[in-house]
Structure 1
Amino acid sequence: MEKTINIIKYSGEVEAFNIEKLKRSLRHSKASEQLVLEIAEEVQKQLTEGMTTKRIYKIAYAILKQKSKSGSARYKLKKAIMEFGPTGYPFEKYIGKILEYEGFNTDVGVVMQGHCVTHEVDVTAVKAKEHYLVECKFHSDQGRNCNVKIPLYIQSRFKDLETQWLKQKDHSLKFHKGWVYTNTRFSADAIQFGECVGLGLVSWDYPEQNSLKSKIDRSRLYPVTALPLLSKQDKQNILNKGIVLCREICDNPELINDLAIATSKKKRILKEANELCNH
């Protein structure tokens, strides 16, 4: 019987290391089964009591980056989204792109008049009779989650805006709904409240079949920050240009022409981006 080794999660919680959980996350990166087993074996060799999940991730990512650039990009997806910081605006724009892929017409950063006060709405999304208001809660720290205060606040804003909308002609025929998107997680009471009042909630892993992670996998709208060859400064320069998707670089390679990146490196970046988008 193998000895149980405890590890420390990002939240500070302690749990028993589960090799199958690691293998699942590696398979999710589309790494070959041989590479999955190779990485799992190396992690087990280096594993010690009290090792952090951050350290385990670094070991696995370093091997993946050597063997499969596109695989390492998918493996670091959650971390890549956290690199949208320090402001939440790139995340808002990213969510707008995902909703566009789902058939919505979107606007980012819209000031709207409510019944009582004005509100700045992160994303508005309209498709036929569906009219959504989306609040984006971005965290650059995996240990931070959205507690019940967030959906409580968003629901009150949504109701103020909905009251104003219903005064407009034909708006009574539209389906209005408020949504909260976050790149981390919701607490149990946040989910309970959202479900109770009909507020849409999307987090990294909720709801199971339509989570942020699932949406990205289906759409292949990977964040530009996932590209392994880009330095921290490269990523910031690209985000400053309003580019948030790998797909944008694939479709318009000239977008990175005026960045301070060597031509040979630009070619390798484009190759990485195409492998990731078209896998």
Structure 2
Amino acid sequence: MKNKEINITKASGEIALFSPEKLRHSLERSGAGEDTINEIIREVEQNLYNGITTKQIYKVAFGLLKKESRHSAAKYRLKNAIMEFGPSGFPFEKFIAAILKYQGYSVSVGEIVKGHCVNHEIDVIAEKENHHFMIECKFHNLPGKNCDVKIPLYIQARFKDVEHQWKNLPGHATKLHQGWVVTNTKFSGDAIQYGLCAGLNLLGWDFPKGNSLREQIDASGLYPVTCLTTLTHGEKQFLLDKRLVLCRDLCEQPGMLSVAGISRQRVTEIMNEASVLCKGEKP
């Protein structure tokens, strides 16, 4: 059977044709070498069958990549790593705040803000120069879950109530106030259409093209500790519970690994992997 004829099943349940080019592109983003990429694609193609899930394809590719380079494997699993933040969503809010801080914004997380009608708990507030943003983070810990139009409709209503109050603050009359919706998955077509029409800033895993969440993470090098292939699930959760979300946090506080009860030998292995991600180097 030719590869172009093979249907794969996405996490959403949608059926699509297998694309070796898409697999190659995702492996290239991880920093893997050309020989490694070609070997992985050959192995994946040998295991293809109609109806194979993207999860199964990922498992094969990730396993092979991990044998060649843990640093590349860590980057390759970025989307899954963010989903490991857990059901509370708080680390995701802190993660988004860290990206904005890296971009020069002053940020605060989880503030109660007075609106014109009611008070609102805002996930992230970001300010820089003449810009003042109210940011709501919609975290999903399962693949295939998208943000539909109800989310930006709801956020826009909240933002308008807050904006009414913000404009009355001293020096805010001429500032640009904007509501944001940030998600680690995708937006539906209606959600994008409404967001653009209403003036909301939408930031999703692959939206907008050229400045998506994934692209901003790669550009900033702010990878989450959940990317690390040398950590167990329990160890990742321990670090998140200590509000240590970024690999850069770990590079600055390596002693937290000892606090977690990790052996000296494994601490060295973990820090070797983390240090490459911290520096944004190619493996």
Q: If the TM-score is normalised by the length of the shorter chain, which range does it land in?
A: over 0.9
Correspondence list, 1:115-134, <5 A = 115-134=116-135
Partner of 2:72: 71
> Is structure 2 residue 186 aligned with structure 1 residue 185?
yes
Distance in 2 separating the partners of 1:126 and 1:20: 39
Structure 2: gaps of 5 or more residues:
none
> Is structure 2 residue 200 aligned with structure 1 residue 199?
yes
> Is structure 2 residue 111 aligned with structure 1 residue 90?
no
Structure 1: gaps of 5 or more residues:
none
Letter in 2 for 1:203: G
Letter in 2 for 1:139: H
Distance in 1 separating the partners of 2:17 and 2:171: 56
> Is structure 2 residue 162 aligned with structure 1 residue 171?
no
> Is structure 2 residue 84 aligned with structure 1 residue 45?
no
**How far apart are 1:255 and its partner, in Å?**
3.0
Distance in 2 separating the partners of 1:104 and 1:90: 18
Partner of 1:218: 219
Structure 1 counterpart SS, 2:173: helix
**How far apart are 1:17 and its partner, in Å?**
1.1
**How far apart are 1:251 and its partner, in Å?**
2.4
**How far apart are 1:252 and its partner, in Å?**
2.5
**261-270 vs 130-139, which moves further:** 261-270
Structure 2 counterpart SS, 1:171: coil
Listed one character per residue, the Cα deviations across residues 122-166 of structure 1 (whole Å, up to 9, x for unaligned) are 000011111111000000111100001000000010000011112
Partner of 1:80: 81
**How far apart are 1:47 and its partner, in Å?**
1.1
Distance in 2 separating the partners of 1:5 and 1:265: 41
RMSD after superposition: 1.0
> Is structure 2 residue 21 aligned with structure 1 residue 16?
no
Structure 2 counterpart SS, 1:120: strand
Partner of 2:2: 2
Distance in 2 separating the partners of 1:114 and 1:65: 49
Distance in 2 separating the partners of 1:19 and 1:174: 47
Partner of 2:103: 102
Partner of 1:149: 150
**156-165 vs 252-261, which moves further:** 252-261
TM-score, structure 2 as length reference: 0.96
Distance in 2 separating the partners of 1:233 and 1:253: 17
Structure 2 counterpart SS, 1:86: coil
Distance in 1 separating the partners of 2:210 and 2:45: 31
Alignment coverage as a number of residue pairs: 279
Structure 1 counterpart SS, 2:186: coil
Distance in 1 separating the partners of 2:129 and 2:52: 51
Distance in 1 separating the partners of 2:145 and 2:152: 15
Partner of 1:61: 62
Distance in 1 separating the partners of 2:124 and 2:240: 18
TM-score, structure 1 as length reference: 0.98
Partner of 1:262: 263
Structure 2 counterpart SS, 1:110: strand
